[in-house]
Structure 1
Amino acid sequence: MENPAENLVGVAQSASQGAITARQLDVRPIMRQGEVLETVPGVIITQHSGEGKANQYFLRGFNLDHGSDFAMTVAGTPVNMPTHAHSQGYSDINFLIPELVAGVQYSKGPYFADQGDFATAGASNINYATTLDRPIAHLEKGTYGFGRALFAASPKLGPGHVLAAFESSANSGPWTVPDSYLKLNGVLRYSQGNAVNGFSLTAMGYHGKWNASEAVPLRAVDAGLIDRFGSIDSTDGGHTYRYSLGVDWQRGSPLSLTKVTAYGLAYDLGLISNFTFFLDDPVHGDQKEQSDHRFVSGVKVAHRRLTKWAGRSVQNTAGAQIRNDDISNVALYATEKRVRVETLSEASVLVTSAGVYAQNEIEWTRWLRTNAGLRGDVSRYHVNALETFNSGTTSAGLVSPKGGATIGPWKGTEVYVNAGTGFHSNDARGTTITRDVDGNPVDRVTPLVRAKGAEVGVRTVAIPHLQSTVSLWTLRLASELVYNGDAGATEPGPASERHGVEWANYYSPRRWLVLDGDISWSRAYFAGAAAANRYVPEAVGTVVSAGASVDTFHRTFGSLRLRYFGPRTLVDDGSVQSKATKLVNLEGGYQMKKNVRAVFEVFNLFDDAVSDIDYYFASRLPGEPPGGVNDIHSHPAVPRTLRLGLILSF
C-alpha cells in the first residue's frame, strides 16, 4: 500500500485500506503530531491531560484509549507498548516530525496476515522520507507560549544520503497551570538504493517533560471553584524519553522481494496524575505516579514472490516477526505533590511475542482476485512482582485465518468482501495476578483476546478526479478485558460487538485543488448484556471530517477543515452522554520567494467552547461526602489559537 489515495483501484484488498501522501499532509493544519492520523477516515485524536502524554484515539466504535486496538509503526519501529504502566498498547507519537513524513498507509479490520497484536480496529504505518528536495528551516511562533524550530537536510554521502533533522518546541497552552511542555527531538538516517534494492539505518531520539491539567468535574466549574482551563491538582505532569535505532534492508527482482527490519528501542515514562482528587485519600489526595522503563528489540522478515499457476498470476508472501519487551520497572506509586509516599505495585516483566504468517493472492480472471492468509502468534510473559503472590510465568497462542475477494474493476469500480480474525494482548501482570493492591482476590485475564471481523465495500473512480469508498463492517471482541493501570487491578468485561458504515471521498478537480469529505457511523454494545446496560462507555459514534485544500495557486496555499466528534454514551445504561464537539481549523500561506514561504494556522477558528474529551465517574472535592460525587469530567478543546511560521529552503 504505497500508492497515493487516488490510485488504489486494482491495488487495494479492501475498501477501508488506503494511503495518505506527503502532499496531502503539507497543506493540512496540524496542532498536535498525533493529528497526522486524523487523515485516516474515521479517526479522532484528543487529549485529556498534558500535551506530552500520548493522545486518546477513537475509531470504529472504539475509545482506543491510548492505542489498545490500533497498531502503529513509525519508520518501521513499533509504537504500541504492551504491559504499559498507564494503559495496554500505549502509543505516544509525540516524537513524530510531520515535515519528514513521506506517507501514511492504513488499513482497518483484522483482515491482513502481516498484522498481529493490537491490529483489530485497524493499523497504520507512517513512513519517513529518505531524502528532502532541499534543506529546510521551519520557525514557528504562536499564542499561549508556543514556539517551534525545525532544521532538516539530506546531503549526499558516498553512494547514499544522510537525512538529519532536529526539532525543539515549547508550549504552555491556555491552562491556569501552564503545560510548560518542552520537547527535544531528532532523526538521523542513512540510506542507499530504493524501495526494491537498498537499505536504511535510522536513529531517532525524543525527550519531553510537561505539566498537566487533567479533566475537571463540571460541578467545580459551575460552582466557580475553577474555570474550564483550571485544575484541581496543580502538580500533575510527566516526563518521557524514547531513543531508537532501526535498520531496513530489501533485495528484489521483477518477481520477488525480501525485506528485513530490525530495531532496538529504549523508553522511559514517569506520569503523575490525579483523576479522583480526594476520593481514596482525603488527607494526601489521590495523586499517583505511573512509571515505565523498558528496552524493546525485534526483527521482522518478509518474502514475497510472483509466479504463475494454471496461467493465473499468483503472489505468495511469507513472514516472521519477533519482539521482546524487557521491562525493568513497571510500577504504580501513591504520590503527593510529585513526591512518592507509598509503593502500590511494582514489577519487572519480560514479554516475548512471535508470529509467522503466509498469504496467497490469486488473480483468477480480469475481474476477480482473492487473498487468503493464515497467521500464528505465541506470547510468553514472565512477571516478577514486588508482591510475590502476583509473580509467575504464562504463555498463550492463537491461529488467525483471514481472507477476502475483490470483484472488478468495471468502469473504475471494485467490490470487496473481507473477513478475518485477529487479537489484542492483555497486560502481562493481569495473567499472573492473584490479588489487587488492596489485597482483594481477583481473577486472572486471558493473555490474548480474540477479535472477529468482516466487511463489504465499494471503491470507485468512475467519476473523473474522484475516489469514493463505502464500507459496511462488523467486529466482535471476545472480551473487553483491560488492565487498569490507575488502580493496579484487572477488570474483566463481557464480549462486545461493533457495527458501522464509512463513506470517504477524495476529489481533485484541479491540480491545485482538493475537496475531501468523510463520514463514519458506528455503534458498540456489550454482547449478551441486559438491555439496560448494553452500551460500551465512551464508544465513538459519528465522525465527520471535511475540507478544501489549495496547493500553490498563484503562490498561495491553504486548507479549511471541519472536524465533528459526535456525542458519546458515557455509562453503560446510556443515561449520560457527552456533547458533540465541532471544530473548524484554517491554514494559509504565501510563497514569498522561491525558497521562502510564510504560513499561518488558526485552530478552533470560531472559538467554540467545547470539550476535547468527556468522562463520567466519581471524584471527591474537599468537603464532599466520603463516597464522592458522580459527575462528567471534561477536558476542554483549546480556544482560538494562532500560529505563524516561516519556512526557509536552501
Structure 2
Amino acid sequence: MTPRSLPLILAALFSATAAHADDIFQRVLVDGSRLNQLGVADSANAGSVTQQQLDARTSYRPGELLEAVPGLIASQHSGEGKANQFYLRGFNLDHGTDLRTTVDEMPVNQRSHGHGQGWTDLNFLIPELAMRLDYRKGPYSAAQGDFSSAGAASVVYANRLTQGVASAGIGQNGFRRALLADSNDAGDGSLLYALEAQHNDGPFTQPDRYRKLNGVLRYSEGYANNGFNVTAMAYDASWNATDQIALRAVQDGTLGRFDAIDASDGGKAQRYSLSGAWRQTTDDMSSRVSAYVIANRLALFSNFTYAMDDPDNGDQFAQPDRRVTSGVNASHTWHRHTDRGSSDTTIGLQLQNDNIHNGLYNTRQRQILSTTRQDHIVESSLGVYAENSTRWSRWLRTVAGLRADAYRFDVRSDRAANSGKASDHLFSPSLSVIAGPWRDTEAYLNIGNGFHSNDARGTTITVDPKSGEAADKVTPLARSRGLELGLRSAAIAGLQTSLSLYRLDFDSELLFIGDAGATEAGRPSRRYGIEFSSYYKAASWMSLDLDLAYARARSRGSDPAGDFIPGAIEGVAQLAMTVTPSGPWSGSLRLRYFGPRPLVEDNSVRSSASVGLNGRIAYRIDKTLRVEVEGYNLANRRDSAIDYYYASRLPSEAQPVDDIHFHPVESRSLRLTLVKNF
C-alpha cells in the first residue's frame, strides 16, 4: 500500500460516531454497538458516546473529540496549543462561552479569562483514557449552570484500563506522538497511569513547533457507582502561531495560504490539577461528592491587525493569565418506587472559586512595550439545585428542577477607577415532559432558563483602559430562556433517529473583549433551530450515522447596522460510516460540512463553507498489535477553518482596509501509528 493509493482505499470505508445515551440510569445496547436511551433521556438532544465510538473517530487535535456531539464544530484560528473555537446551535461560542465542558467533573471553562470568557482549552485531554462523552443541549437541566445554555459536554476518564496500551505515531508536517498507559492492582484498588508526548509543526511556513508533555496518575477503589478515586494531572505545552491572515494579501500574491504576518506570535500553557470523587449507591439512595484544585497558566501573544494601531512596532499584544480554581460538587438522590412508577429527587450543591491574575500588554516580538491593564480577580460562586424525575405511568415521565446561583466579583485593577466589587444572583427553573405512547418512540417537551456569567472586569469597569473614555458596567449574569420540542424513535430495527425544534433567547449577549481590554454589551438575541440525528446498523460489520443541524440567529431590537449576528453558525452536517469486517482490516471515513456564516450585521459579507474528509484504515497484526493510518483533509481542499471580517493594516499599506481574515484548513496529511496492547 502506498500513500497515493490510501485515499482510494479510505474512500471505500466509513466511520461511526455519536451514540445517544444518558449515564444516570441503565443502558441498553443495540446490536452490541449503539446505546438506546428511550425511557432514559429527558430530551431528544441528550446523548452519550462510548469509548469504542470515540476510539473510532479521526481527530486532528484533542478538542475535536467534542465533535462527537451532533451539530457541534470545533475549529482553530491560531497555533496548535491555543484553545479551540466552538460553534453550536446558532452560536459562535468563541473559545467556549455557552458550552459548559467538564473532565471528570472538573470545569474546563475558565471564567474572566485574559483572552475570552469561558476559555476552554482541551489540549490536555488524552483520548485513550476517555471512557465516555456525555452531552446535552439547551438550558433544561438544573444540574448544569454557567455556560450551558447552548450545550454541555462531559468527558469521563476510566478508573481502570482493560489492557495497557503503548503507541508510537509519526506523520507528515513534523507530527510525532508517543503514549504509554496502563492500570495495575495496588492495595485494595487500582493505579492508572498515562504519559503522552507530542510534537507537531503543521503545514505552515513558520512551523508551529507545538510541543506538549502530558501525564495522568489515578488511584481508585470500588466501582463507578460505589467507590472513590484520586487523580493528579499535569500538562505543559509551547507553540508558535500562524494567526488568521488577510485575504487580500493572499489574492494579490503577497502571502501564501500558510504564511504568517507576525512570526513571533505563539504561546505557552500549563495545567496542573488534583481531584477526587466519591460515590455511594443503594436501592433507596445515592450520593456523590467531588472536589478539585486546578492551576492554569497561559502566556499568549497575538497580532490580528498587524500594523494598524502602531505602524512602528506592530500591533502584537500579550494576554497572560494565571489562576488557581478550586471547587466542590455534591449531590444526593432519593429513589422511591411505587406500584405505578418511580420517583427520584436530587438536591445538589456546586461551589467554585477562581483566584486570577491576568492582563493586557502591547508587545513586540513577545517583549512588553506598554501596559493596557492588569488585574487581580477573585470570583466566587455558589449554585444549589433540586430536581425531581417521576415516572407517572408506562408512557409518561416528567423532570422538574429549580436552580439558584449567586456570584461575587472582586476586581483589583491597576486603574483604581476600574476596581471594585459586584454581586448578582438568579433562579433558573426547568421542566421536561416525556411521553411515550407509541412503541419504541418518545416525544419531549422541554422548557427552562439558563445563563452565562460575564467577565468580572466588566462588572466594575468605569473607564475604557485603552481609550480612556467612560465605559458602562455590564450585568454580571446574562439570562437565557429555552423552549424545545423533540422526538426519538427506534421503531425500525437497527435504526435510531432523533429530531428536535428549539428556540433560545438571551437577554443580552454581553461579552468582555479581551483583545481590547473593554466590555461590549450586545443586544438581546433569539435563535431558532432544527436538528436531526440518525444511526443505522446496516449490517453486523457496518454502521452509518447522519447528523444535520440548521439555526437562525438574530439580534432583537432595531439597529441600522442590521440584525445578523457575526459568526453565528447556520448549517452543519456530518455523514459517517464504519466497517469492521471479521478479518484483520477495519476502516472509517467521515465527511463534515461547516456551512457559510454572516460576518457582519447586515449579512453583506459571508464566509465560505468548509468541507472536510477524514478517515482511518487499520490492520490487526495479532491480538495485541495493530497498525493504523489516519488521513486528514483527504480531498486536500483549500478551505478556511475560520473567517472574520474587520479592519487591518499590513506593514506595506498606508491605511487600514476592511477585509476577510481567515485561517486555512491544514493541507492533506497522513499519520502512521503502531499500537501495542498488553
Tell me if TM exceeds 0.5: yes
The residue aligned with 2:445 is 417
Q: Could you tell me how far 1:552 is from its partner in structure 2?
A: 5.4
Give the CA deviation at 1:531. Answer: 7.3
Cα distance between partner residues in 1 of 2:179 and 2:213: 10
Could you tell me which residue of structure 2 aligns to residue 407 of structure 1? Answer: 435
C-alpha distance after superposition, 1:264-292 (max 9, x if no partner):
00010010000000111111110000010
- The answer for the alignment partner of 1:381 in structure 2 is 409
Is it true that 1:340 corresponds to 2:368 in the alignment? yes
Is residue 73 of structure 1 aligned with residue 102 of structure 2?
A: yes
Query: What's the Cα RMSD here?
Result: 1.1
The equivalent residue for 1:16 is 45
**d(CA) in 2 for partners of 1:431, 1:411:** 52
| 2:383 maps to 1:355 | yes
Q: Does 2:244 match 1:215?
A: yes
1:369 to 355, 373, 397: 397
Residues 191-270 of structure 1 mapped to structure 2, 5 A cutoff = 191-270=220-299
**Letter aligned with residue 208 of structure 1:** A
Aligned position for 1:479: 508
Output one character per residue of 1:548-598: Cα deviation in whole Å (capped at 9) or x when no partner: 112353112221110000000000000000000011111110111111010
Mapped pair 1:456 → 2:492: no
Instruction: Tell me if the contact between 1:415 and 1:458 (Cα under 8 Å) persists in the aligned partners.
Output: yes
Q: 1:35: how far off?
A: 1.0
Which amino acid in 1 is paired with 2:668? R
Q: What are the equivalent positions in structure 2 for 1:430-449 lying under 5 Å apart?
A: 430-437=458-465, 438-449=467-478
Cα displacement (A) at 1:384: 0.4
Alpha-carbon distance, 1:309 to partner:
6.3
1:44 paired residue number: 73
Which residue among 661, 666, 677 is the counterpart of 1:633? 661
Once residues 581 and 414 of structure 2 are traced to their aligned partners in structure 1, the CA distance between those partners, rounded to angstroms, is: 60
Letter in 1 for 2:669: T
CA contact (8 A) 1:138 1:647 kept: yes
Q: Is this contact kept in 2: 1:27–1:557, CA < 8 A? A: no
Instruction: Indicate if the aligned counterparts of 1:27 and 1:550 stay in contact, CA closer than 8 A.
Output: no
TM alignment of 1:599-638, pairs within 5 A:
599-626=628-655, 628-638=656-666
**Matched residue, 1:275:** 304
Partners of 1:431 and 1:73 lie apart in 2 by: 26
**What's the offset of the Cα at 1:320?**
0.4
Q: 1:140·1:149 contact (CA, 8 Å) conserved in 2? A: yes
- Where 2:403 maps in the other structure, the secondary structure is strand
Q: What's the offset of the Cα at 1:465?
A: 1.5
**How far apart in 1 are the matches of 2:639 and 2:340?**
60
- 1:65-144 alignment, distance < 5 Å: 65-144=94-173
Cα distance in 2, alignment partners of residues 603 and 529 from structure 1: 44
Q: Which amino acid aligns with 1:508?
A: K
CA contact (8 A) 2:192 2:218 kept: yes
Alpha-carbon spacing, 1:308–1:132, altered in 2? closer, same or farther (3 Å): closer
Q: Aligned AA for 2:391?
A: E
Counterparts of 1:531 and 1:620, CA distance in 2 = 27
Distance in 2, matches of 1:644 and 1:463, equals 39
Could you say what secondary structure the match of 2:320 adopts?
strand
Q: Residue 298 of structure 1: CA displacement?
A: 0.1
**Contact 1:10–1:409, Cα closer than 8 Å, also in 2:** no
1:36 alignment partner, SS class:
helix
The offset of 1:543, in angstroms, is: 0.3
The answer on whether the counterparts of 1:148 and 1:170 sit within 8 Å (CA) in structure 2 is: yes
What is the 5 A alignment of 1:478-557?
A: 478-530=507-559, 533-551=562-580, 553-557=582-586
Residue aligned with 1:37, SS: helix
Corresponding position of 1:152? 181
Whichever residue aligns with residue 202 of structure 1, its letter is: T
Q: Is 2:497 the partner of 1:468?
A: yes
Which deviates more from structure 2 when the two are superposed, residues 445-454 or residues 188-197? 188-197
**Aligned pairs (5 A) from 1:585-596:** 585-596=614-625
> Structure 2 vs 1, CA of residues 505 and 623 (structure 1 numbering), >3 Å: closer, same or farther?
same
Q: Residue 601 of structure 2: which of 565, 572, 587 is its match?
A: 572
**Offset, 1:409:** 5.0
1:324 aligns with 2:353: yes
Q: Is the 8 A contact 1:199 1:248 kept in 2?
A: yes
Aligned to 2:626: 597
Please give the per-residue CA displacement for 1:328-347, whole angstroms capped at 9, x wherever unaligned. Answer: x1100100011011111000
Task: Specify the code of the residue in structure 1 equivalent to 2:479.
Answer: R
Aligned partners of 2:340, 2:172: CA distance in 1, in Å? 64
The secondary structure found in structure 1 opposite 2:602 is coil
CA contact (8 A) 1:28 1:549 kept: no
Cα offset, 1:508, TM superposition: 1.8
- State the one-letter code of the partner of 1:46: S
> Which SS does the other structure have where 2:392 is aligned?
strand
The answer (yes or no) to whether the contact 1:46–1:55 under 8 Å persists in 2 is yes
Amino acid at match of 2:172: T
- Of 667, 672, 677, the residue aligned with 1:644 is 672
- Confirm or deny: 8 A CA contact 2:645 2:660 kept in the other structure: yes
1:512: how far off? 3.2
* SS of equivalent residue, structure 1 residue 365: coil
Residue 411 of structure 1: CA displacement? 1.1
Q: Give the match's secondary structure for 1:6.
A: strand
1:52-93 CA deviation, whole Å, 9 max, x = no partner? 000000000000000000000012211000000000000000
> The residue matched to 1:254 in structure 2 has which SS?
coil
Q: Give 1:159 shift.
A: 1.6
Aligned partners of 2:84 and 2:366: how far apart in 1? 22
C-alpha distance in 2, partners of 1:63/1:262? 31
Deviation at 1:252, TM superposition (A): 1.2
CA–CA distance in 1 between the matches of 2:37 and 2:540?
Answer: 18
- The Cα of 1:260 is off from its aligned counterpart by 0.1
Instruction: Report the identity percentage.
Output: 48
Contact in 2 for aligned 1:198/1:251 (Cα 8 Å): yes
TM-score, normalised via structure 1 length: 0.98
Query: TM-score if structure 2 supplies the norm length?
Result: 0.94
The answer to which of 529-538 and 50-59 deviates more is 529-538
Instruction: String of CA shifts for 1:137-192, please: whole Å, max 9, x gaps.
Output: 01100000000000000011112111100000000000011100000001111111
Pair 1:189 & 2:218 matched:
yes
* Residue number in structure 2 paired with 1:390: 418
Tell me what 2:13 maps to. Answer: none
- What is the CA–CA distance in structure 1 between the aligned matches of 2:597 and 2:139, rounded to whole Å? 24
Cα displacement (A) at 1:134: 1.3
**What CA distance in whole angstroms lies between the structure 2 residues aligned with 1:623 and 1:239?**
30
Q: Distance in 1 between matches of 2:142 and 2:339?
A: 25
Moved more, 131-140 or 371-380: 131-140
**CA deviation string 1:106-127 (max 9, x = no partner):** 0000000000000000101000
What letter matches 2:61 in structure 1?
R
Aligned pairs, number: 648
SS across alignment from 2:224: coil
Question: Contact between 1:389 and 1:433, CA under 8 Å: does it hold in 2?
Answer: yes
CA distance in 2, matches of 1:376, 1:41: 29
